[in-house]
Structure 1
Amino acid sequence: MKSENEKLVKITKCPDSEKSVISRALRLFKSEFKKKWTAASYKEERFLKHNEQWITVSIQLPYWSVQPTEKPGRPTKTFEELSDRSKRRKTKELREQIPVEELTYAAGVSQRTSGNTDASKIIKEIASISTRATEIRKSITSAQKQALVKKYTPQEALSIFVEGNFTRRQWEVIHISNKSLYPCYSLMKKAKSECYPDKESMQVTETCYEIQLQARGSQQTEYKQRFTNSTDSDANIFQSTLVPLRLVVSVDGETKKIIWQNPVPSSARFCRPIRIRFINESKDVIQDEIAYVRETEVSTSNGPGKIKHRIMLTMVDGKVCNAATDTASTMRCYICGHFSKDFNKLIKSKEVNVEALKFGLSILHARIRFFESLLHLAYKLPLKKWQARSDEEKKVVKEKKEEIQRAFKKELGLLVDVPKAGVGNTNDGNTSRKFFDEPECSSRITGINLDLIRRFKVILEVISSGYSIDAEKYDAYALETAKMYKDLYGWHPMSPTVHKVLMHGALIISNAILPIGNLSEEAAEVRNKHFRQYRLNFARKFSQVKCNRDILNRLLLSSDPYLSSCRPRQHKKKEAVNLMIAGKPNLPQTENESYENTEEEKTDEEEDEADEEEDEADEDEAVEDEADGEEDEQFV
């Protein structure tokens, strides 16, 4: 053995420090030879027959041509420091020469010898049962995934709490089921307090609560709670809310950079409560509320810069606009002052109320008003008269109305013009949207010209799209539509809303600082629904003041900017709107404006689709919805 080692050392010119390598290689060869010789029962013929391939393979040994005193080049790395590729290359000869079973067994023994008993047992179990390897791998992968799941922060948990409308008891059940993931309610309660303004800036009484800005009024359910003043009542609610739209950096009044922009301006996610009163909506109340909101237009100095907010009273309907402009008649245009009898003359007055243009188009209610205008026109088609005065004419109108109602119920499943106790009638946003979504069917049932219905649909979709609109193209299309209406139904004047959208729409669009679709009153309508839900499910009933405080706190939580950014959005598919569009939705149009977004970059198609989907985030919650878009290449 010794002489054989010396011969190999001489042949390979092995240095003294590496003689152990030669000895190890020779021992491995002899051990393998002995096993194969024993398996052949010490018979040469059988040994040669069964090990022919192994005999023909040459044994590779390291060769040292010189014996340098120091190794040149990079310093030698330990096996643990090598990359996977280097490790595979270094162990290639060992894997080719030694069977897998022997290597696995040796690995297990080596681990046990070094003190890693658990690793040794796992290697032994994997080698003994092949199916266990798959089970162990799946267990390790599952454990790694669980380790990657981080516990929600109190703020993140609070956003889930608000999104799911959970109660305290429901959250405690969720927390107990997985304490490693969900924080306890006490931590969320602390996070809640951080969302509320200072107590000094909140005033809560039995009939009012406010935070030192658009007014909406609605009828509410009266609760069995006693007021200190017997004349007070909770039968009516009047709300003022605020939706932040854009935060910009401006120099000398010129916009230089957009810091933040509301991704869902028509949603209630960022709709903040300002003042809520239990009071009936009247002209005096509306004017008082507008004056109250406008008083908040102040500037705040902050170091070298100054923060100033600009309020736009666009979350309003026609009743608020009339009260704000002292327009006594509902059949009079609050912009140009013309009465309904003059609407079909298509007069574009040069003298208009410039302040009235700031109220926008009341997009959400415009769809319903257009729908009702066509309905009332259809009722009187047999007479071709604006007003039915005699009993016989009224009977004809009534019969036509009942016929149309039955047809809509049968073909589209719609309840049209049916009174509802305490809340008007069934002509809501969903009904009007379905009417314009099926123009052929609606035209057949009502007898209204199909092209006119389609043109109304196009206009409504354009103003609610959220895109920047080419005012000139819009004006031409709207004026052509108005002329069509006059030629077909000149005996029936347009409604004030139809007149406003067709005759003054372009002027209002050109005076808006944002795309007109971003100035909808939808968020305020959703807030009325939220108020009723929060009052019923999340407020204490034994005290009117405490009930009001609970509602206010819930409204603040559900519209908190940080929590709203954490909450998942509901994305819904709809067709792209390419009608009279001058630019992308929600994006600045001037050369010196830019838009910063913390999300990852997207392609143009992805950005367009995302913007369209975000505008519909709370569509199911709204009392009246915006309509889907539809392509029309004529105005691209």
Structure 2
Amino acid sequence: MHKDGHRTAARAMETLGSPTRGRQLVAALGAPRREPKPYTAEQALALFVNTNLSKSQYQLLRNSAAQQGADSFYPAYNRVRAAKLACLPHPDDETITASRGEVRLQALLDLTAGRLLLLQRDVLETLTESDAAGLVLLCKWGMDGSSDHSRYKQQGLTEDSHMFVTSLVPLRLVTESGTVVWNNATPNSARFCRPLALAFQKETAELTRAERRRVELEESKLNALRAGRYQVGYRIQLTMLDGKAVGALTETASTQSCTMCGATPKQMNQLEEMLRRPTTNTELGMSVLHCWIRIFEALLSISCRLQLQRRIASGADNQEAVKEAMKKVRVRFREELGLRVSEARSGGVGNSNDGNTARRAFQAPEKFSECTGIDKELIIRLHVILQVISCAFPVNTARLTSFCTETAQLYVRLYPWYSMPVTLHRLLIHSAQIYESCILPIGMMSEEAAEVRNKDVRRYRLQHTRKISRELEMTDLLHHLLLTSDPLISCSRAVDSRKRKALLPQAQLLLQEPEAPLGDRQDAAGSSGTRSRSSSSSSSSSSSSSSSEGGGGCGGDVSEQ
């Protein structure tokens, strides 16, 4: 009785602590007890992948549950293995050697589409016969090289510290009438980034061009998938590229020249001529993640040369003055915003300037201006444009063109002595043209998913591959990348539900339909399978800010929170 009295008093105090707590306690006490349900093989596989378990760890977990009387709570590993095989293509569709592993494009697309049909079966049942026979899967693909991989004591290769990865990301499954059947709510994360090819090779211009030819040859031979009353066609676009890859594919002689109009640095401040130039290669998209970083670094470079009023600091005294100015800028960013700017990374590869650093700096324009001496209005306008190209909402290209032109004119008026950097030139002169060339908004076509995947490749190679031979290692790595990007498995993970920052008011005005506050808009068709009647070009696919989950080789980037 004494203990019961204490419990009653504790519950009374808890009830008084909140006006709604009493109702919650009553509801909890009156709710029927839920009986535990055993995991299905697919649910166990999702748990296996999402918690990064090994086979021995899963067996330990299952045995521990059995000791507590829950013998059938976790299915046997053989059942999990069978579910895993359903996520992989047929062995005849794979080519694996000691130095390279690849999956046929047709097989990967068919596997992805088939898993999406299984995932969205409830939604698909509501489609008419004509819509069911006219489904189209929209995807982006690209390639990227990475370095600093672990080196193992294995025969067959003398160099395994570099890897060249070709990836594909499904973005949206739509009907010919525009109904969105499935939408990738995180198009710039590694969640759905599927491997097409892996190779122990250093990224070169010739390798990049050869890989493009190989994939485009397979693309020209694609056939639609027929599954019962459903037929799925494919449309893919090469946009997951960084500046180095774009330069290699366009065979641009200089990294400082524009790959779209051929303008050189000396010409980029001549705005009238730039606006009249013919453009090409806009279908390769815009490297959104690198765009944030490069423009941030360009403003830092201008800041360090404000006293000299010249871009090239010739002479020992001028070079020393630029170094001292950069030191002061780094100190101010550290004190005012807590950011580490332009600091060398350990190992001598890259620096601390990543997507998060750039986004956080642009979110505080006043302090950014105070730290660098850069005009505050220019910082705000650049932030607006970067937000617009990073979001997944449809853009009013006429308004975007006008806004970019005004921003370019402001830049030239403020800093005529510093010729416009090539990334800033592409952003201000070609953004609208790039948008019109993409099958979906630029924010969904970013290269960030491939950058994030580079980290996964390193980790999976270390933790989930057999080191007995190169071929087994490549097999395990390719299969684990396929498994972790399977749509059914990936959709079982919880999407980050933290509230993201809404677009700036000026950015909202550059969108096509800003009739409602963007922070209140819901996904048109999220990965849970909500059906939307809006067209594929106008339905939103993510929150109002960038929908990515992480960054890759450029640093640990996350969505704009």
Interval containing the TM-score (normalised by the shorter chain): 0.7 to 0.9
Q: Which residue of 1 aligns with 2:43?
A: 156
Q: Which residue of 2 aligns with 1:240?
A: 166
**Equivalent position to 1:377, from 302, 316, 319:** 302
Q: Which residue of 2 aligns with 1:207?
A: 99
> Given residue 220 of structure 1, which amino acid in structure 2 is its aligned partner?
D
> Given residue 476 of structure 1, which amino acid in structure 2 is its aligned partner?
S
> Given residue 474 of structure 1, which amino acid in structure 2 is its aligned partner?
L
Alignment partner of 1:183 is 2:113: no
Q: Which residue of 1 aligns with 2:283?
A: 358
Larger mean CA deviation between 435-444 and 467-476 belongs to 435-444
Residue 380 of structure 1: CA displacement? 0.8
Residue 600 of structure 1: CA displacement? 6.2
Tell me, yes or no, if the aligned pair for 1:466 and 1:517 is still in contact at 8 Å.
yes
For residues 507-533 of structure 1, give each alpha carbon's deviation from its aligned partner in whole angstroms, at most 9, with x where no partner exists: 111222211111111110111010011
How far, CA to CA, are the matches of 1:620 and 1:340 in structure 2? 29
How far, CA to CA, are the matches of 1:542 and 1:142 in structure 2? 57
Q: Which residue of 1 aligns with 2:148?
A: 220
How far, CA to CA, are the matches of 1:440 and 1:285 in structure 2? 44
How far, CA to CA, are the matches of 2:89 and 2:447 in structure 1? 25
For residues 526-567 of structure 1, give each alpha carbon's deviation from its aligned partner in whole angstroms, at most 9, with x where no partner exists: 110100111112122232221221111110111001111222
Tell me, yes or no, if the aligned pair for 1:462 and 1:579 is still in contact at 8 Å.
no
How far, CA to CA, are the matches of 1:311 and 1:624 in structure 2? 27
More helix per residue: 1
**Equivalent position to 2:377, from 444, 451, 465:** 451
The size of the alignment, in residue pairs, is 474
**Equivalent position to 1:299, from 222, 230, 238:** 222
- The structure-2 alpha-carbon separation of the partners of 1:584 and 1:199, relative to structure 1 and needing over 3 Å to count, comes to farther
> Given residue 217 of structure 1, which amino acid in structure 2 is its aligned partner?
G
Residue 272 of structure 1: CA displacement? 0.7
Q: Which residue of 1 aligns with 2:127?
A: none
Unmatched 5+ stretches in structure 1: 1-130, 132-137, 586-593, 630-636
Tell me, yes or no, if the aligned pair for 2:390 and 2:545 is still in contact at 8 Å.
no
Please state whether the residue corresponding to 2:350 is helix, strand or coil: coil
Please state whether the residue corresponding to 1:247 is helix, strand or coil: strand
Alignment partner of 1:559 is 2:489: no
Please state whether the residue corresponding to 1:504 is helix, strand or coil: helix
How far, CA to CA, are the matches of 1:596 and 1:438 in structure 2? 31
Structure-to-structure mapping, 1:101-500, within 5 angstroms = 145-147=33-35, 149-178=36-65, 179=70, 180-212=72-104, 213-229=141-157, 232-250=158-176, 255-297=177-219, 298-300=221-223, 307-346=232-271, 347-354=273-280, 356-420=281-345, 421-500=347-426
Identity of aligned residues (%): 35
- The structure-2 alpha-carbon separation of the partners of 1:143 and 1:434, relative to structure 1 and needing over 3 Å to count, comes to closer
Tell me, yes or no, if the aligned pair for 1:367 and 1:429 is still in contact at 8 Å.
yes
- The structure-2 alpha-carbon separation of the partners of 1:601 and 1:242, relative to structure 1 and needing over 3 Å to count, comes to closer
> Given residue 145 of structure 1, which amino acid in structure 2 is its aligned partner?
R
Larger mean CA deviation between 267-276 and 180-189 belongs to 180-189
For residues 55-102 of structure 1, give each alpha carbon's deviation from its aligned partner in whole angstroms, at most 9, with x where no partner exists: xxxxxxxxxxxxxxxxxxxxxxxxxxxxxxxxxxxxxxxxxxxxxxxx
> Given residue 175 of structure 1, which amino acid in structure 2 is its aligned partner?
R
Tell me, yes or no, if the aligned pair for 1:225 and 1:544 is still in contact at 8 Å.
no
Structure-to-structure mapping, 1:5-44, within 5 angstroms = none
For residues 371-396 of structure 1, give each alpha carbon's deviation from its aligned partner in whole angstroms, at most 9, with x where no partner exists: 01101111111100010111111111
Tell me, yes or no, if the aligned pair for 2:303 and 2:374 is still in contact at 8 Å.
yes
How far, CA to CA, are the matches of 1:302 and 1:521 in structure 2? 27
Residue 625 of structure 1: CA displacement? 3.4
What RMSD in Å do the two structures reach over aligned CA positions?
3.0
How far, CA to CA, are the matches of 1:339 and 1:609 in structure 2? 37
How far, CA to CA, are the matches of 1:598 and 1:218 in structure 2? 33
How far, CA to CA, are the matches of 1:290 and 1:610 in structure 2? 28
Q: Which residue of 1 aligns with 2:118?
A: none
- The structure-2 alpha-carbon separation of the partners of 1:571 and 1:539, relative to structure 1 and needing over 3 Å to count, comes to same
How far, CA to CA, are the matches of 1:352 and 1:538 in structure 2? 49
Residue 301 of structure 1: CA displacement? 5.1
Residue 482 of structure 1: CA displacement? 0.6
Residue 302 of structure 1: CA displacement? 5.6
Please state whether the residue corresponding to 1:145 is helix, strand or coil: coil
For residues 15-40 of structure 1, give each alpha carbon's deviation from its aligned partner in whole angstroms, at most 9, with x where no partner exists: xxxxxxxxxxxxxxxxxxxxxxxxxx
> Given residue 290 of structure 1, which amino acid in structure 2 is its aligned partner?
R
Residue 246 of structure 1: CA displacement? 2.3
> Given residue 543 of structure 2, which amino acid in structure 1 is its aligned partner?
E
- The structure-2 alpha-carbon separation of the partners of 1:387 and 1:598, relative to structure 1 and needing over 3 Å to count, comes to closer
For residues 426-474 of structure 1, give each alpha carbon's deviation from its aligned partner in whole angstroms, at most 9, with x where no partner exists: 1111211221122211211111111111111111111111110111111
- The structure-2 alpha-carbon separation of the partners of 1:221 and 1:142, relative to structure 1 and needing over 3 Å to count, comes to farther
Please state whether the residue corresponding to 1:575 is helix, strand or coil: coil
Q: Which residue of 1 aligns with 2:12?
A: none
Tell me, yes or no, if the aligned pair for 2:393 and 2:540 is still in contact at 8 Å.
no
Q: Which residue of 2 aligns with 1:611?
A: 542
The structure, 1 or 2, with the larger RCO (C-alpha pairs under 8 Å, 6+ apart) is 2
> Given residue 512 of structure 1, which amino acid in structure 2 is its aligned partner?
C
Residue 407 of structure 1: CA displacement? 1.9
Residue 284 of structure 1: CA displacement? 0.7
Please state whether the residue corresponding to 1:332 is helix, strand or coil: coil
Larger mean CA deviation between 276-285 and 572-581 belongs to 572-581
User: Structure 1: which 4+ aligned runs deviate by more than 6 Å?
Assistant: 140-143, 303-306, 594-598
Residue 186 of structure 1: CA displacement? 2.2
How far, CA to CA, are the matches of 2:544 and 2:242 in structure 1? 25
Please state whether the residue corresponding to 1:331 is helix, strand or coil: coil
Tell me, yes or no, if the aligned pair for 1:569 and 1:617 is still in contact at 8 Å.
no
- The structure-2 alpha-carbon separation of the partners of 1:176 and 1:558, relative to structure 1 and needing over 3 Å to count, comes to same
- The structure-2 alpha-carbon separation of the partners of 1:315 and 1:278, relative to structure 1 and needing over 3 Å to count, comes to same
The TM-score normalised by the length of structure 1 is 0.69
